[in-house]
Structure 1
Amino acid sequence: MSILCLVLVLMLSSASSTSCCTEHESNCLLQFLEGLSQDGGLSMSWRLGTDCCSWEGITCSSTVSKVAMVTDVLLASKKLKGSISPALGRLPGLLRLNLSHNSLSGGLPSEIMSSGSIIILDVSFNSLGRILPPSPPLTTGLKLPLQVLNISSNKFSTELPSLDAMVHLVTLNASNNSFNGQIPTDFCTNSPSLAVLELSYNQFSGRIPPGLGNCSRLRVLNAGHNSLRGILPDELFNATSLECLSFPNNNLQGTLEGENVIKLGKLATLDLRENNFSGNIPESIGQLNRLEKLHLNNNKMYGSIPSTLSNCTSLITINLGSNNFSGELVNVNFSNLPTLKTLDLRLNNFTGEIPESIYTCSNLTALRLSTNKFHGQLSKGLSNLKSLSFLSLTNNNLTNITNALQILRSSSSLTTLLIGRNFMNERIPDDDSIDGFEDLQVLSLSGCSLSGKIPRWLSKLSSLEMLKLKRNQLTGPIPDWISSLNFLFYLDVSNNNLTGEIPTALVQMPMLRPEKSAVQVQWHPRAFQLPIYRLTSLRQYRKANALPTMLNLGNNKFTGLIPPEIGQLKGLLELNLSANKLYGDIPQSICNLTNLLTLDLSSNKLTGTIPAALKNLNFLTRFNISYNDLEGPIPTEGQLSTFTDSSFIADAAACMLLPSVCLGLMVMG
C-alpha cells in the first residue's frame, strides 16, 4: 500500500507541474494587470509566455490533464492601485477572488458581479465607489453561485443593489460604506440561506423591515451606526437562529418585550446601545442561557436589574451604563457569572453598598460603577480580583481612602484606577505602607477635597502615565521626585492650594521633552479595558497616548517667575499656569512650544510685553493671557489674530487699548 501511495503522489505531482492555464485566462489576468497604476510587484511574476498557474497569487485546479483552470485570484494586501478589470469576471473556473486591503478605485464591474463561477468575492478595504449592475443578457433567469460577498470598507454611496440572482448567498458584508435608503425587505426571499448580514456604519434610514424575520437561517444581524428609527418589529424575533442581534447607535425606540426575547434562545450578543429604548429589562432575559454580551448602555431604560440576569451564566460583558436604572444590586447574584470580564454600570442611580458577589467574578478585568449612589467602604473582597485591570468608582459616596488604597494595592494587574469624587474632605495618606500598583498607568483622585501634601508613595508608581489630583485641598510644593516618573505625560494638579515656585523638576519630565530617549522608544501604552472620558471634550479615549500631553498647574498659589526652561517641554500640547501668583515677563522660550493647543497664563501678575513670536504657535485652539499687568501692543498676526479680545483683556494697561471690551466686562460683572 505504501508503494502504491508513493506512485500516486508522484503521478499527481507530475500532472500538477505540467499543467498550465489557457491563453484566454492569461490574457484576462494580464488585462487586470494593465489596469493597475501600482501593481505591488506582480509584474515580476506575471509575464507573458509563462504559465499563469505559477504567477503570484494565482491558484489553478489540480487535474490530471495538461490544462488547468484558474480557481483562485488571491491578492489581498498587495498595495495595488488602479481599477478592477472586467476581464476577471471572464475567468471561466474562478471560484475565489480576494482583492481586499488594497487601494483599488472605480467600480465593481458587472462581469464580476454576474460571474457564473465565483463563490467567494472579497473586495473589502478599498476605495471602490460604485457597484455596476449585472447586465441583463447575463442575468436573465440566471442563479449565481455566489455564497460570500464582502464589499465592506469602501466608498459605495448608492442604495444597496438588488441581489435577486444570488440565491445561494450565505454571507453579505456591506458595512462601513455610505449606502443609503431603506434596508431591502426581500433579503431572505431571494437568499433563503443567508446567515450573516452586516450593514453597520452606513446611512440606512427608515424602519427595520419585518421581513427579516423570515430569515430562518440568519445567525448574525448587524445594522449599527445608521439612522434607523422606530421599534424592533415583533416579526424580527421569528428569526430564531439569531446568535447576534446588533443595532447600536441608531434612533430606535420602544421597549424590550419579554415574550419576544425568549424566542431568541440561541442569542449570544444583544447590542442595542446608543438608542432611545425605554422600560425595564424583562425577567425573561434569564432564559437566554447562551448570552455572552449584553450592551444596553446609553438608552433611557429604568427600573431595577432583574435577578434572573444571574441565570445567564455565559455572560462575558454587561454594559448598562448611561440609563436610569436604580435600586440595589444585591438581588443579582454575580457569583453565578464565572466568565464575566466586563461590568459597566456608569451613570445610573444604583444605591446601597457594592455587592460582595461581584468580588467572586475572578475573571473580571474591567469594573466601572462610576456616577451612582453607592456608599460605604470598599470591601476586602475586592482584592480577590487578581485579573482586574480597569476600575472606575468615580462620583459615589465612598469613604476611608486609606482603607481603599490598602485593599487596591493587592490588585496586581491594575492599570487604570479612577476613584475621584469620593472620600470627601479626608486626608490623603502619606506613608510608605501604600505600595503595590506596579503596573498602574492612570490614577485619578480628583474632586475629593483631600487635604495633605502630594504623597511620596506616588513616586513608586514607576509605570504611571497620567496623574489627576485636581480639585482637592493639597498644600505644599510639587516634590522634586516628580521627574523620576519616566512615563508621566499628563499631570493635572489644578484647583488646589499648592505653593512655592514652579520647580525645575517639572521641566525635566522625560515624556514632555522632545528627545527620543530610550524610555520613550520603549513606551507602548496598552489600550484601556473601557474607554475613558474627558469632561471638557466629551470624547472617548481608548489609549493613554491618545490624550494630549498636559501640564496643568492652574488655580493654586504658585509664586515666582515662569522658568525659562519651560520652553524645553516641546512635547506639551496643553499648558495651564492660570490663577496663580506668578510675576515677571512671559518668557520668550514659551514661543518654542510650537505644538501647543492650549496656553493659559491668565489671572497672574505677569508684566512686560506680549512676545510677538507667540504668533508662531500655529496650532493654538485656546489662548488666554487676560487679567495680568501686561503692556504694549497686542499681536495681531498669525494664530493670535483668531482669538477674541477677551483672551487679552482685564488689566488697566490693556483697557487703554481696548476700552470697549473692558466696559463690557465691567457691566457683565
Structure 2
Amino acid sequence: MPFSGFALAVLLLSIASHAKPCSDQEKSSLLRFIAELSWDAGLAMSWRNGTTSCCSWEGIACDRDGVVSEISLPGRGLHGLISPALGDLTGLRRLNLSHNSLSGELPWEQLLSSSSRLAAIDVSFNHLEGELLELPTSTTHGRPLLQVLNISSNLFTGEFPSATWKDMNNLIALNVSNNSFHGWMPSSFCITSPSFAMLDISYNRFGGRIPAGLGNCSALKVLKAGRNQLTGMLPDELFNATSLEYLSVPNNGLYGILDGTGIANLRSLSHLDLGGNRLNGKIPDSIGELRRLEVLHLDHNNMSGELPPAFSNCTNLITIDLRNNYFSGELTKVDFSTLINLKTLDLLFNSFTGAIPESIYSCSSLNALRVADNKLHGQLSPRIVNLKSLIFLSASFNNFTNITNALHVLKDCKELAVLIIGSNFKGEAMPEDETIDGFQNLQFLSLSRCSLSGKIPLWLSNLKNLEMLLLHNNQLAGQIPAWIKSLKLLFHLDISENNLTGEIPADLTEMPMLTTENTATDLDERVFLLLVYRGTSFEYRVTTAFPKMLNLGRNNFTGVIPKEIGRLKSLAILNFSSNRLSGEIPSQLHSLTNLQVLDLSNNHLTGAIPVELNNLNFLAEFNVSNNGLEGPIPAGGQFSTFTSSSFGGNPKLCGAIVDRPCASAETNLVSTLSTEWKDRWFAFVIGFGAFFGVGVLYDQIVLSKYFG
C-alpha cells in the first residue's frame, strides 16, 4: 500500500534522526566561506541561529554519513570572494554559486585537489576574474570525478588551460562561454573522456581553426563556438562526431563550402548555425538527410545558387534563416507544404525571383515570413489568409503590384501585427476604400517608398492598435487629417518626402502617446519576431529602440510652427525640415525635455534662436540651417556640441561657432545699457530728492506740532 502523507513524513523524520551531524571541521570550513563574503544576504545569521548540524543549514545538503555533499546557493545576491576553505570539504560533490555577484579569482586548485570528490561546479553569472592556470599534475592525477564545469558569464581572461583535462576521464560538460579567453580552441577533451557530450566556448576571443580532434568525440552532442575569431574551414573530421545534435559556430571567419557528404553524417542534428561567416557555394542536396533538423541558420555568408528541393524532406524544420546571401532562382522549386512545423522563414537580402510559392500558404504554423529585398513579383495570393498564425510579414523592396488587392487579402490575417510592404506598387494610387476594415491587431505598418499618389486614407483611422506608421517617400497630397489624434497608441509617425500641404495642424499636438510624460513605449516586443532593417543596415530589434518620433520633413507645409508643440513632452525626434514654414522658432520647444533630434532646416524661419533651447539636455542633433534667422547663437549647454553646419545659410546669425563675431550687437547692447543706466540714475536722483523734500517737510510739521 502507498504511504499516506503522514506516514511518509514520519519516515523522513526517522531517516533524518538517524543521519549523522556534520563534523566540526566541515562546519568551520562553511563558516570561513561565509565570513569571507562582503555580503551574505543573511546566511551567516541563519546558519548561526539554526541547528548545530550544518546539514540542516540553508543551501547545504549532506549524505547519510553527515558529510557535506552539496552547496546550492544560486541567485542569493552574494558578494565577495570564494573562500579556498571550500576545498577542505572533501566530500563535496556539487557546488552551485551561480547568478550572484562574486568576484576575485576562482580557487580551483583547492576545489579540484586530489582529495576532492567534486563532480559539478557551477559559478556562472558572477564577476569572477583572472586566469585559469594549468593545474599541477599532482592535483589532477587520479582525479576522474569532475563531470560538469560551468564558469560562463564571468570576466576570466588569458589562455584556456588544455593539459589540465587530459586526466579528467569523466568529464561530460564544459561551459566557458561569455568570458575573454583567447588563444587556441581547446581540443583534448575526448582523448580521455569518452562520455564528453557538451562544449560551449561561445562569446570569447578564441582563434585558429576548429580542432579536427573533436571528430573523435563519439558522444559529443552540443558544440557551441559562436562569436569568436575562428578561421579556416569546418574540418572534415568534425562530421565524424555523428552524435552531434547542436552545432553552432556563427560569427567567426570560417570559409569554404558546406560539405554535402560530411553533413549527411550528422543524422541526429537538430540545430545548425553557421551564420555570420564567409561560406560560399550552394546548400547541398544532402541537407534533406537531416530529418531531425529544426533550426537552420546560414545567414550573412556568401552562399549562392538555388534552394535544393530536398528542403521539403526536413519536415521538422521550425526556423530557416538564409538572409544576407546571394541565393537566386525561384522559390517554387521547394515544396513548403511538407514543412508543417515551420514558424520562421527569413530570406531577406537575396536575389530570389518569381512569385511567392503557393505552397508556403500551407505552412499553417508560420509566425514570421520575410522575403524583403529580393526580385519577387506578382500579386499577393488570397491564400495568405490561411496563415492563421502570421504575426510578422515583410515583403518590401520587391516588384509586387496591386496594392488594393494586397491590403484586401492581408486585412483578414487576424494575428498580423507587423506589416512591411514598402518599395512595391510603384506609381499606384493609395486606396481610399473604406472596406479595408481589418488589421485589428496591426501595430506596425510601413507603406513607404512606393511613390503612391492620393491622400492619407481614412481607413487608417480604424487601426486602433497602430503604434508606428511609415508613409515616407510617396507622393501623397492634401493635408494631415484631423483624425490622426484618434490613433491613441501612435507614437512613431513618418510622413516625410511627400507633397502634403497646409499648416501643421494643432491635432498633431494632441496625440496621446506624445503628450504623455511617460517616454516608454507600449509596443508588444513579441511581435518583432525578426530584426527590422532599413536599407542594408541593422536598425531596430527591441521596441524600446524605436523613438517617439514626428517626421514631417520634405513636404510643402506652410504657416508657423504652432506654439502648442510644447505639449509633446515625450517626443524624441522632431523633423520639420525642407518645408515652407515661416515665423519664429517657438520658445515652447524648450518644454520637449526628452528631445534628442530637432531639425528645422530649409524653411523660411526668422527671428532669433530661443536661448531657452539650452534646456534641452538630451539634444544630440540640431539643425536650423538655410533659414532667415538672426542674432547670437545661444552659448554653452548642448549648443557647445554642435558644428557650424547646424547653422549654415543664416547670414545674420553670429557667434564663435559660425566664426562671425557679434561685436556690433554687443556695442548696441552696451549703448542700450548705458542709456538705460543713465535714465535709471536720473529717475533715482529725482525720486530721492522728492523723498528727501517730503521727509524734511514732514519733520517740520511734526516738530512744530510738539515743540511750536
- Which TM-score band applies after superposition, normalised by the shorter structure? over 0.9
* CA deviation string 1:400-437 (max 9, x = no partner): 11111111111111111000000111111112200111
In 2: Cα distance, 1:158 partner to 1:254 partner: 30
In the alignment, structure 1 residue 148 sits paired with structure 2 residue 148: yes
CA deviation after TM superposition for structure 1 residue 625, in Å = 0.6
Residue 96, structure 1, aligned to residue 79, structure 2: no
Structural mapping, 1:330-479, within 5 Å = 330-479=332-481
Q: Return 539-548 or 131-140, whichever deviates more.
A: 131-140
Matched position secondary structure for 1:449: coil
Secondary structure in structure 2 of the residue aligned to 1:391? strand
Secondary structure of the corresponding residue to residue 498 of structure 1: strand
Question: What do residues 147-179 of structure 1 show as CA deviations (whole Å, max 9, x unaligned)?
Answer: 111111111111112323322111111111111
Q: Distance in 1 between matches of 2:140 and 2:517?
A: 67
Contact 1:167–1:192 (Cα < 8 Å) also in 2? yes
**C-alpha deviation, 1:319, in angstroms:** 0.8
Gaps of 5+ in 1: 662-669
- Alpha carbons of structure 1 residues 52 and 540: separation in structure 2 relative to 1, 3 Å: farther
**Which SS does the other structure have where 1:533 is aligned?**
strand
* Alignment partner, residue 487 of structure 1: 489
- What is the Cα deviation at residue 648 of structure 1? 0.2
Deviation of 1:515 (Å): 3.1
Alignment of 1:122-133 (within 5 A): 122-133=122-133
Q: What one-letter code is carried by the residue in structure 2 that aligns with 1:14?
A: S
1:70-469 correspondence to structure 2 within 5 Å: 70-109=68-107, 110-114=109-113, 116-133=116-133, 136=136, 139=139, 141-161=141-161, 162-469=164-471
Write out per-residue CA displacement over residues 325-367 of structure 1, whole angstroms, 9 at most, x where no aligned residue. 1110111000111111110001111101111000000000000
Does the 8 Å contact 2:215/2:241 carry over to 1?
A: yes
Residue 140 of structure 1, CA deviation: 5.1
Aligned position for 1:665: none
Which residue number corresponds to residue 47 of structure 1?
48
Distance change (3 Å), C-alpha of 1:565 and 1:138: farther
Call closer, same or farther: CA 1:548–1:609 in 2, change over 3 Å: same
Cα 1:450/1:444, change in 2 over 3 Å: same
1:637-656 correspondence to structure 2 within 5 Å: 637-654=636-653
Q: How far apart are 1:292 and its partner, in Å?
A: 0.9
For the Cα contact (< 8 Å) 1:169–1:194, is it kept in 2? yes
Residue 44 of structure 1 and its aligned partner are, at CA, apart by 3.1
For the Cα contact (< 8 Å) 2:516–2:570, is it kept in 1?
yes
Alpha-carbon distance, 1:399 to partner:
0.6
Quote the offset at 1:525 in angstroms: 4.0
Q: Secondary structure at the match of 1:278?
A: strand
Equivalent position of 2:690 in the other structure: none
Deviation at 1:43, TM superposition (A): 2.4
Query: Could you tell me how far apart the structure 2 residues matched to 1:542 and 1:117 are?
Result: 46
Q: Deviation per CA, 1:361-408: give whole Å up to 9, x if none.
A: 000000000000111110011110000010000000001111111111
**Stretch moving more, 200-209 or 496-505:** 496-505
**TM-score (ref. length: structure 2):** 0.88
Instruction: Work out whether 1:38 is the aligned partner of 2:39.
Output: yes
Query: What residue is the counterpart of 1:666 in the other structure?
Result: none
SS in 1 for 2:118: coil
Give the match's secondary structure for 2:179. coil
SS in 1 for 2:154: coil
Distance 2:14 2:504 in 1: 80
Change (3 A) 1:131 1:31: farther
1:591–1:616: 8 Å Cα contact kept in structure 2? yes
Name the SS of the counterpart of 1:571 in structure 2.
coil
- Partners of 1:3 and 1:254 in 2: CA distance: 63
Gap change, CA 1:71 and 1:650, over 3 Å in 2? same
Measured in 1, the distance between the counterparts of 2:452 and 2:41 equals 61
Instruction: Give the helix-richer structure, 1 or 2.
Output: 2
Q: CA deviation at 1:456?
A: 1.5
Partner of 1:541: 540
The equivalent residue for 2:698 is none
With 437-446 and 142-151 compared, the bigger mean Cα shift is at 142-151
Distance 1:4 1:33, change over 3 A: closer
- SS state of the match for residue 531, structure 2? strand
Q: Where do 1:575-586 residues align within 5 Å?
A: 575-586=574-585
Deviation at 1:613, TM superposition (A): 2.8
Give the distance between the partners of 1:290 and 1:132, measured in 2 at CA: 38
Q: Does the 8 A contact of 1:111 with 1:134 survive in 2?
A: no
SS where residue 483 of structure 2 aligns?
helix
The one-letter code of the counterpart of 1:250 is: N
Q: Find the aligned partners of 1:338 and 1:642 in 2 and give their Cα distance.
A: 56
**Aligned partners of 1:390, 1:512: CA distance in 2, in Å?**
25
CA distance in 1, matches of 2:7, 2:382: 71
Tell me the SS of whatever aligns to 1:335: helix
- How many residue pairs match? The answer is 654
Bigger Rg, which one: 2
Residue deviations 1:79-104 (CA, integer Å, cap 9, x gap): 11111111122212222111111111
Q: Deviations over 1:36-70 (max 9, x none)?
A: 11112212311177322222212222x3xxx5122
Q: More deviation in 92-101 or 413-422?
A: 92-101
- Pairwise CA distance, 1:526: 2.8
Contact 1:649 1:655 in 2 (8 A): no
User: RMSD value over aligned CA atoms?
Assistant: 2.3
8 Å CA contact 2:346–2:370 kept in 1: the answer is yes
How far residue 280 of structure 1 moved from its aligned partner, in angstroms, is 0.7
Give the 3-state SS of the residue equivalent to 2:61 in structure 1.
strand
CA contact (8 A) 1:342 1:367 kept: yes
SS at match of 2:352: strand
Contact 1:169 1:193 in 2 (8 A): yes
Residues 304 and 326 of structure 2 are in contact (CA less than 8 Å); yes or no, is this contact kept in structure 1? Answer: yes
Contact kept? 2:521, 2:543, Cα under 8 Å? no
Question: Structure 2 counterpart of 1:86, which letter?
Answer: P
Q: Per the alignment, in what secondary structure is the counterpart of residue 89 of structure 1? A: helix
Code of the aligned partner of 1:600: D
Secondary structure in 2 aligned to 1:68? coil
Q: 1:71 to 1:632 in 2, by over 3 A?
A: same
Alignment check: 8 A CA contact 1:269 1:293 kept: yes
Q: Is the 2:643–2:657 Cα contact (8 Å) retained in structure 1?
A: no
Within 2, Cα distance between the matches of 1:5 and 1:580? 79
* Range moving further from structure 2, 244-253 or 22-31: 22-31
**Equivalent position amino acid for 1:90 in 2:** D
8 Å contact kept, 2:23–2:66: yes
Find the aligned partners of 1:486 and 1:97 in 2 and give their Cα distance. 53
- Distance of aligned partners of 1:58 and 1:304 in 2 relative to their CA distance in 1, 3 Å threshold: same
| TM superposition shift of 1:144 | 3.5
Distance across 1 between alignment mates of 2:188 and 2:551: 58
Are the structure 2 counterparts of residues 627 and 540 from structure 1 closer, same or farther at C-alpha, using a change threshold of 3 Å? closer
Deviation (angstroms), 1:654: 3.7
What do the CA deviations read for 1:573-600 (whole angstroms, capped 9, x no partner)? Answer: 2111100111111111212223222111
| Per-residue deviation, 1:145 | 0.9
TM normalised by structure 1 equals 0.93
2:587 partner letter: Q
The alignment status of 1:609 with 2:608, answered yes or no, reads: yes
Contact kept? 1:297, 1:322, Cα under 8 Å: yes
**Residue aligned with 1:381, SS:** helix
**Helix, strand or coil: the match of 1:506?**
helix
Q: How far apart in 2 are the matches of 1:160 and 1:322?
A: 34
